[in-house]
Structure 1
Amino acid sequence: MMNTKRVLLASVFLSASAFEFWPASSVTRLVNQLPLSFGGRNAATFPKVEQSRFRCNLAEPIDPSQDGLLSSHDLFSSQEALKTLVKRHQPLVEVDSICYDDLRDFDTDDRWKPFDEIPKRLKENYPLVYDRAWIETINRFGLVYTIEGSDTSLAPILLTAHQDVVPVENATLAEWDHPPFDAVYDKKSGYLYGRGASDDKSAITALMSVMESLLSQETYEPRRTVIFSFGFDEECSGFRGAASIAKHLEDRYGKDGIAVILDEGGAGLQQVGDVLYALPAVYEKGYLDVWFDLEVTGGHSSTPTPHTSIGMMSEIVVSLESNPFEPKIIPDGPIHQGLICFTRYSPYVLPALTGYINWGLLDKAAKLLAQTQRETQYFIQTSQAVNWISGGQKINSLPEFTTLGVNHRYAPQDSIGSIQHRIVGLVQRVVHKYNLTLHAFEGDNDYDAYLDSIGQTRAGGGNEINTNWEPIYNGKLVLEARKRSYITP
């Protein structure tokens, strides 16, 4: 056992992405920047400002060794157990269950066909689960396994994973040690190679293997119902899979009818000084893709206009990237509560942070965290990434169409509507400069609701600009939000 003074379960800590505590180089850099008033060992004794009633008190530890079941060490530490797990995992990794961004309906797109294979392989490898569980198929490929508990008054627990994987770029195939869907196991290194071997088919194998082992023990009788749900489009939206499963379970158990949900994410156990932290993920940022479609009059490059659609769109990119979002810690939110835990049990690791949290100076704490490292910055700040741009068909022809795609993972201080409204403001200079007609998020409920909340309308809010004379470029800029998800919880 690690030589630690205490074990802390920071059950409200940070985000679905793995949180790395500050590396030594970052701590040194920050300490050198700290105001003297927040230095020294008195940092943890500053008077507290009431920003939260949360104190991060520790629950009494529970000893699972008294449940009469075999331990995980007994079940899975032997070489024989490893062989079994490899044999179970390989058939899953061999299935090229790729989620493409442009997948069509199930019956019209053959790229869905590999997903038919997954439940067949699960049934072969987990006979006890298939014999005991109530198994449901949701929206064609979603899988839900329910092991009924003996006490129906207890809300069930939900353990999740996803069956799909991201595509493999053909240009990268030569860089793979083994083909991505051969599921080669290297005994010497202990690695199983393949797309999805980790993200996230490993979770399917782990959950199903544990349940198979539990069901093989005569004394196992869960008091609380256990549910497994395996989505099939997490890598390209989750709307068909997880969203359908969520609605199905909410219809059955009611809103907030699940006691605990375990999804992928979190950073496991991390030691800071003499304190061991458990870091489950209890908060996930929202998601938003915004597409910019610019159409202008084309022509031959021998007589070009002063600016092409690519040049205009490039100015929009500069405007966006010159105006990043601001970091912010929401009072009493999951980030704030996680920092309360950290500064209570490790007050001298970052004394300035401890001082800021104790004093309730959350804006200063946010700035400090944003300076630490990029991963930490984006726990408390909405990200925007210009990931896609396309325009032009021929080197001697002026491009009539240019498309830009910007991905956002938004923090609680922002919303889909506020991001859309911000984008409309940032493109105004380009719209005016080139006399473009702007069509901003037409028919978008999130955007309309946000405009209502701030007392603006499309007609009077400066969100559509139409010139009274024929513009030189005859240009039209269309803004559209496509994939989106909301912050959880």
Structure 2
Amino acid sequence: MLGDRFVYVAISTILAFSYYILPQKNEHYPTCPTVEIYRPLNYSENKDILDKIINDETFRNSSLYKMQQAIRINTTSFNDDLPLDVGNNLDKFQHFTKFHNFLKDEFKLVYENLQLNMVNHFGLVYIWEGSNTSMKPLLLMAHQDTSPINLKTLNQWIHEPLSGDYDGKYLYGRGSGDCKNLLIGHLEAIEELIKIGFKPRRTVILSYGFDEEISGFRNENPKFIENIYGPNSMYAIVDEGGVSLMNVGETKLAVVGTAEKGYLDLSISIEKQGGHSSIVDKRTAIGIMGQLIVEIDNNEMPTYFIDKNPTFYQYVCLAENSIDIDTKLKNDIFNSQIDQNANENVRNFINKDKYTAYAIKTSQAIDIINGGEKINALPEYVELMINSRVAVEENITIAYNKFVKDTTNIAERYNLGLNVQMAYSDEIIEVIPATEMGKLTIKPITMLEPSPITPIGDKHWEIFAGSIKHLYEELAYPDSKVVVTPGLGTGNTDTKHYWNLSDHIYRYRPGVLPSVNANSHGVNEYIEFDSHLQIIAFTFEYIQSVDALDD
């Protein structure tokens, strides 16, 4: 009897302990949308071409020359107040003409076989007409423009910003990673396809805007394409974004952006009586604005871990495939949708690192503050400008109301009036009447809801993700294992203008490093040049794979 009890206790202890040792999946839990390697039907015929793209030194040097020439042409876009129609402001964008001439000279086969349409003067839309017009076209995107170079940082650049310097492994210069490598890679891939006599059944469209870095307000390419083909007319859309390759312990993840966060710019201003700075209230307008900044920073946005967000599947895939992450974390991921404590543990883990945290919460970046005119005069008007990237679990109204609440707290604390312009409204509401101390005003400036979410687990995903897997595991890094997962774009790409054209939008650029880790927008932007060759190989194969598939 005592022996039986001992056995019972031992078994119970083992079972309880195993919860923390062995992965525990519940039966209602979604699984990773795992794919197998996907190769084009005629892969065996083109193995030599792919080997040339990835490994041939002559091809590498030729491709390098093209990228260096592209980087050396200045295609900066600047923030300004120009209207959407640049017809009256051609001089502001005239430097793009040099880039266009370079493309025409360098990619003669593209210009002989594809139809080029100049849209709104500087937008480029190339159409490679397919033989079967009943098939939805494939749309490949990039952008021509680059972010400005801060002249005050020139002494920090190891290589000149437009040098295109190459050290045998890395290529340096503005646009190397964001994203002339993608644009040039597309054109190189298509020239390779033309050389082998490939003629598409499915039309291929290349769309390159010229002001993505300033939100793409002048990008009329999507309207042009929709006018020809209609809404929801594209088989799929592929643009920059996603995490090229990331290591989580021993696991390599290729994270495809299947959604993007929303975008919100807002302004908060304070008007307060001025005067000589020798006689001052306890806090000036700038001092009160400082308190508001503290209020905003201290009231952090909530975190989420639910299957509405593609990040959820990214961590499911990690839990299913990793051999070295903490077993307790694996269990918590598996049980996060039925166990509140497990969910919190996963959120806390993701939230520890700023490079992963904003995939599960809305960001709030205090970027600009203006106020004060003279050192001995009290400031009468101060303005704060905030940029927020809105979580897919929320919407613009939810995020904006958080800032309204913070502003209300400060208005009440310092006996100020409060005017609020609500999201999607021109009306300004006087929430608290102005007092002798002054008033606060909060207004939205730019609003974009979180994007629609691309389906996963269908044939579209099988081909796209499987092609990535083939690129890495068989072409670029033989014998490696790469897990391709859905993920979330924490920034915004030009795809925000193309939502009406397809349900299948993939934000992914093959390569070794995500552009954010390669100093895009910053000092010493660079790429590992192998990444560029991988773009060419992927595009070469992906166009063929979707061409062989009937809608």
What is the TM-score with the length of structure 2 in the denominator?
A: 0.71
Q: Using a 3 Å threshold, how does the CA distance of structure 1 residues 273 and 312 change in structure 2: closer, same or farther? A: closer
- Alignment-mate amino acid for residue 194 of structure 1: G
User: In the alignment, is the contact (CA less than 8 A) between 2:285 and 2:379 conserved in 1?
Assistant: yes
Q: 1:192 to 1:344 in 2, by over 3 A?
A: closer
Contact 1:142 1:231 in 2 (8 A): yes
| Aligned: 1:95 with 2:78 | no
Of 288, 291, 310 in structure 2, the residue corresponding to residue 334 of structure 1 is 310
Indicate yes or no: 2:58 matched with 1:77: no
1:473 correspondence with 2:449: no
Give percent identity, aligned residues only: 29
Report the CA distance between 1:55 and its aligned residue. Answer: 5.3
Q: Which has the higher helix share?
A: 2
User: In 2, distance between residues paired with 1:195 and 1:216?
Assistant: 30
Q: In structure 2, do the counterparts of structure 1 residues 341 and 254 end up closer, same or farther at CA, with 3 Å as the change threshold?
A: farther
Paired residue secondary structure (1:299): coil
* Partners of 1:99 and 1:235 within 8 A in 2: yes
* Unmatched 5+ stretches in structure 2: 1-15, 454-551
Matched residue of 1:280: which SS?
strand
- Deviation for aligned residue 1:379: 0.9
RMSD of aligned alpha carbons: 2.8
Structure 2 counterpart of 1:441, which letter?
Q
Equivalent residues in 2 for 1:177-196 (5 A)?
177-181=158-162, 183-186=163-166, 188-196=167-175
Aligned twin of 1:134? 115
Partner of 2:265: 289
**Where does the alignment leave 5 or more consecutive residues of structure 1 unmatched?**
1-34, 449-456
Q: Quick check: 2:302–2:361 contact (8 Å CA) kept in 1?
A: yes
Report how far residue 161 of structure 1 moved: 0.8
**Contact preservation (8 Å) 2:139, 2:205:** yes
Select which of 377, 388, 392 maps to 1:408. Answer: 388
How far apart in 1 are the matches of 2:62 and 2:34?
Answer: 41
Deviation at 1:237, TM superposition (A): 1.0
User: How much has 1:130 moved relative to structure 2?
Assistant: 0.8
Which position in structure 1 is the counterpart of 2:45?
68
How far has the Cα of 1:259 moved from its partner?
2.0
Structure number with higher relative contact order (C-alpha < 8 Å, ≥ 6 residues apart):
2
Of the three residues 141, 152, 155, the one matched with 1:171 is 152
CA contact (8 A) 1:330 1:412 kept: no
Q: Call closer, same or farther: CA 1:356–1:92 in 2, change over 3 Å.
A: same
Q: How does 1:298-309 map to 2 (within 5 A)?
A: 298-309=274-285
Query: What letter matches 1:96 in structure 2?
Result: N
Paired residues, number: 430
CA contact (8 A) 1:270 1:278 kept: yes
Structure 1 residue 258, shift from structure 2 partner: 1.9
Which of 380, 399, 402 in structure 1 is aligned with 2:379? Answer: 399
In the aligned structure 1, how far is the partner of 2:150 from the partner of 2:191? 36
Range 400-409 or range 262-271, more displaced: 262-271
Structure 2 Cα separation of the partners of residues 290 and 273 of structure 1:
39
Match for 1:58 among 26, 35, 45? 35
Q: Residues 223 and 352 from structure 1, CA distance in 2 versus in 1: closer, same or farther, beyond 3 angstroms?
A: farther
Q: Secondary structure of 1:117's partner?
A: helix
Letter in 2 for 1:222: P
Alignment correspondent of 2:12? none
User: Deviation per CA, 1:158-191, whole angstroms, max 9, x where unpaired?
Assistant: 211111111111110111233323x3433x4444
Corresponding residue for residue 113 of structure 1: 94
Distance (whole Å) between structure 2 residues aligned to residue 119 and residue 290 of structure 1: 36
Q: Within 5 Å, which residues of 2 pair with 1:71-470? A: 71-75=49-53, 77-105=55-83, 106=86, 107-108=88-89, 110-181=91-162, 183-186=163-166, 188-218=167-197, 220-241=198-219, 244-270=220-246, 277-346=253-322, 349-359=325-335, 360=337, 361=339, 363-364=343-344, 366-441=346-421, 444-445=423-424, 464-467=431-434
Offset of residue 426 of structure 1: 1.2
